[in-house]
């Protein structure tokens, strides 16, 4: 099967990141997606790389999730 490719991937990626940052809900769902991959044991370094976040940020979100639950994200 032929791989699906996003044309202008860098531009599209930047536009999506901008949309996420526009609202508290976007940022919340962004952190939830990060948490799902961490729960699947992908690892902070890999998740940080995939979501263009610092590893310290991802570690902080994981700590927050562990200590106070999903609503704290």
pLDDT at residue 73, rounded to an integer: 87
pLDDT at residue 1, rounded to an integer: 85
What's the CA gap between 7 and 73, in Å, rounded? 32
Contacts of 64 (CB under 8 A, 6+ apart): 72, 73
pLDDT at residue 31, rounded to an integer: 95
Q: How far is CA 13 from the centre of its chain?
A: 12
pLDDT average per 10 residues of sequence, the chain (73 residues): 91 92 93 96 96 95 94 88
Whether the pTM exceeds 0.85: the reply is no
């Amino acid at each position: 099967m032929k791989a699906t490719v996003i044309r202008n991937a860098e531009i599209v990626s930047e536009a999506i990141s901008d949309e996420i940052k526009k609202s508290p809900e976007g940022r919340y769902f962004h952190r939830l997606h990060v948490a799902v991959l961490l729960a699947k044991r992908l690892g902070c370094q890999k998740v940080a790389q995939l979501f263009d976040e610092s590893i310290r940020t991802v570690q902080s979100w994981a700590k927050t999730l562990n200590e106070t639950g999903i609503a704290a994200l």
